Amino acid sequence: MQSVDTTSAAAAAWSDQELQAYVVADAVTAVDARGKTAPMPGWLVAGRPAVAAGEDAAIDRWTHQMGNSHPDDLLELLRAWSTCLDRPGEIVETVTRARHEGEWRVVEARRLNLLDDPRVGAILVAADIGDVVDADTPSALEPSPTPASAPWSILYLDQLGTILEVEGLAEELFGAGSGALVGTNALDRFPPEVHEELLVTWVRIAAVPGTVHTLRLPLRRGPDTWVEATVINRLGGRLDAVLLIVHDVSEALAQEAALRESEARLRLMAERDALTGALNRGALDQRLRDLFGGPGGDAMLAFVDLDGFKAINDRWGHEAGDAVLCAVAERLQAAVRPTDLVARFGGDEFVVVCDGVAEPDGVAVLQRIDDLLAPDVEWPSGSWKPSLSIGVAHRRPDDAAIDLLRRADQRMFEQKRARRAANP
């Protein structure tokens, strides 16, 4: 890594162990182990102390660097500064884009927090300026997880949360400029329902200098505006303020919600029978594996077969058959608890699984199934009086899922044969 001066990109080489800095004539100067020095350009340096006679060292802000940085990289820079303040003495590296000598260039920078070093009192930034890039073309930089153009702001607060100074896009973020914000309490920027959470966080952070905490909160300006807020306690140091670094994550959260919804729909499509909405065979197999993967407990499995279903399709067509299958699936689901499983096993066969149901309680479940399936299933051109063959098996201590299925299936066929024998 090389430091960069205002006239040339060539300067001394650095290593993390050798990176040092000191202040000469109101400028941060970097020095390596060989004693070679190079002044740091102002637009790359944050935290440069003021050394006017009789004044305590003060902290310059980040406005210059933010103003020269690519909009897509601002959030990455905010995170870098936040991390740097939180970890004194550690090298924090970033790769971003910045306007340099009228062109967009890749900037590899290392930040070192020396605010507590009396010889320096600054955050040193050593940087390499690389190739020219097209600002409108996606680069090889790591993409930001939040929208690049999301508004950001930095609030400097006193120990009571009063806003002392504001940087960044306050108007876009809070709906009020810095003039309206300074002197007010930062708590007022957030809706009442999150005040308790914020106050608890504030008390914990304010008690320990150097503490950092990040949380996501809605803004008072509207329920759809959410921010990620990082609170950094720098009270008692040169800065003597609490930093509140805020950026808008509304679009990112909306994208995350849309992604979760899409994934949920895909999972639903993968697990559900397209016609009836009941679980499909694959999903049933997985749920049974999950159920039987733990300690043995009570469980009831009912294997349900529709008697004479082929005749429905032959007489009225597949639309009638589909109506019957959908009605049976809906009634089976209504007969059991929401946590119980109803699956289409294949064709006109269904499986019902009730976890935690012992044999005596299974009788009541079967009665509910009989009651709900008793009414005729109707469609525009006809109707069908449900007739079912049901085989039931209850879990035994050594049962695997396949054992329960086989016993229920066998009992269903036994019931079906008995009915055929009784009604030749």
Residue 104 corresponds to which tokens in the numbers above? 């967009």
Alpha-carbon gap, residue 301 to 287, rounded angstroms? 12
Residue 114 phi, psi dihedral angles, 5° rounding: -120, 30
Total residues belonging to the chain: 424
Pair 169, 152: CB distance under 8 Å:
yes
Residue 423 corresponds to which tokens in the numbers above? 């009604």
Residue 276 phi, psi dihedral angles, 5° rounding: -95, -20
- 349-355 and 388-394 beta bridge pairing: unpaired
Alpha-carbon gap, residue 187 to 170, rounded angstroms? 15
Residue 214 corresponds to which tokens in the numbers above? 């990040």
Alpha-carbon gap, residue 409 to 424, rounded angstroms? 22
Other beta carbons within 10 Å of 40: 23
Alpha-carbon gap, residue 407 to 154, rounded angstroms? 67
The residue annotated as part of the active site, out of 348, 370, 371, 399, is 348
Is 340 one of the catalytic residues? no
Listed in sequence order, the DSSP H helices in 207-317 are 250-271, 281-291, 309-316
Residue whose C-alpha is closest to residue 377's, from 320, 332, 419: 320
- 222-233 and 212-219 beta bridge pairing: antiparallel
Looking at residue 157, the DSSP 8-state letter turns out to be: E
Annotated active-site positions, please?
348
